A and B are shown apart, each in its own frame.
Chain A
Amino acid sequence: MLPGFGLSLGYTLVYLSLVLFIPLSALAIKAMGGGWHTFATVLTSPRILASLRLTFGSAAIAALVNAVFGFLTAWVLVRYRFPGRRILDAIVDLPFALPTAVSGIALTAIFSPDGPLGRALAGIGWPVAYTPSGVTIAMVFIGLPFVVRTLQPAFEELASELSDAASSLGASPAQVMFKVVLPLTLPALITGFSLALARGIGEYGSIVFISGNLPFKTEITSLLIITKLEEFDYTGAAVIAVVMLTASFALLLAINLLQKRSLKWLARKQG
Chain B
Amino acid sequence: MGAVPAFRFNGVRRTLLTAVVLFLLLFLVAPLVAVFSEALRKGLGAYFAAFTDPAALSAIKLTLLTTAVVIPLNLVFGVAAAWCIAKFRFPGKTLLISLIDLPFAISPVIAGLVFVLLFGRNGWLGAWLEAHDWHIIFAWPGIVLATTFVTLPFIARELIPYMQEQGRDEEEAARLMGANGWQILFRITLPRAKLALLYGIVLCNARAMGEFGAVSVVSGHVRGQTDTLPLHVEVLYNEYDFSAAFAVASLLTLLALVTLVIKTWLERRGVHATRSA
Contacts and interface: CB of A to CB of B under 8 A. Distances in A.
Contacts of B203: 96
B117 A205 contact: no
Contacts of A144: 27-28
A107 to B, nearest CB: 6
B177 interface: no
B273 A149 contact: yes
Contacts of B77: 11-12, 15
Interface in A16-52: 16, 19-20, 22-24, 26-27, 30
Contacts of A229: 113, 116, 120, 217
A96 to B, nearest CB: 8
Contacts of A91: 24, 28-29, 260
Contacts of A86: 264
B273 A204 contact: no
Interface string A93-122: 111111111110111011000010100000
A216 interface: no
Interface string A110-140: 1000010100000000000000000000001
Contacts of B181: 2-4
Contacts of A12: 77, 80-81, 84, 96
Contacts of B118: 22-23, 26
A18 to B, nearest CB: 9
A101 B248 CA distance: 11
Contacts of B184: 2-3
B123 A234 contact: yes
A172 B90 CA distance: 51
A27 B23 contact: no
Contact of A203 (B27, B107, B273): B107
A249 B237 contact: no
Contacts of B206: 96-97
B107 A222 contact: yes
Interface size on B, as a range, is 35 or more
A179 B110 CA distance: 42
A222 B213 contact: yes
Nearest to B175: A2
Nearest to A89: B264
A155 interface: no
Given A9-B90, A103-B31, A234 B116 contact: yes
A141 interface: yes
Given A73-B23, A204-B212, A101 B230 contact: yes
A4 B175 CA distance: 12
B256 A99 contact: yes
Contact of A94 (B28, B231, B234): B28
Contact of B106 (A99, A117, A202, A205): A202
Interface in A200-231: 201-205, 209, 222-223, 225-226, 229
Given A27-B113, A234-B117, A245-B110, A20 B149 contact: yes
Nearest to B156: A12
A95 B32 CA distance: 11
Contacts of B195: none
Given A2-B181, A105-B245, A88 B21 contact: yes
Given A8-B84, A97-B210, 7 more contacts: A3-B180, A8-B83, A93-B260, A102-B253, A106-B38, A229-B120, A234-B120
Interface of A: 1-5, 7-9, 11-12, 15-16, 19-20, 22-24, 26-27, 30, 69, 72-73, 75-76, 80, 82, 86, 88, 90-103, 105-107, 109-110, 115, 117, 140-141, 144, 146, 149-150, 167, 172-173, 194-195, 198-199, 201-205, 209, 222-223, 225-226, 229, 232, 234, 237-238, 241, 244-245, 248-249, 252
17 contacts: A8-B79, A8-B80, A12-B77, A16-B99, A19-B152, A23-B114, A76-B17, A96-B206, A97-B210, A99-B233, A100-B108, A102-B249, A141-B28, A202-B110, A226-B216, A245-B106, A245-B110
Interface of B: 5, 8-9, 12-13, 16-17, 19-21, 23-24, 26-32, 34-35, 38, 76-77, 79-81, 83-84, 87-88, 90, 96, 99-100, 102-103, 105-110, 113-118, 120-124, 145, 148-149, 152, 168, 171-172, 175, 180-181, 184-185, 203, 206, 209-213, 216-217, 229-231, 233-234, 237, 245-246, 249, 252-253, 256-257, 259-261, 263-264, 273, 275-277
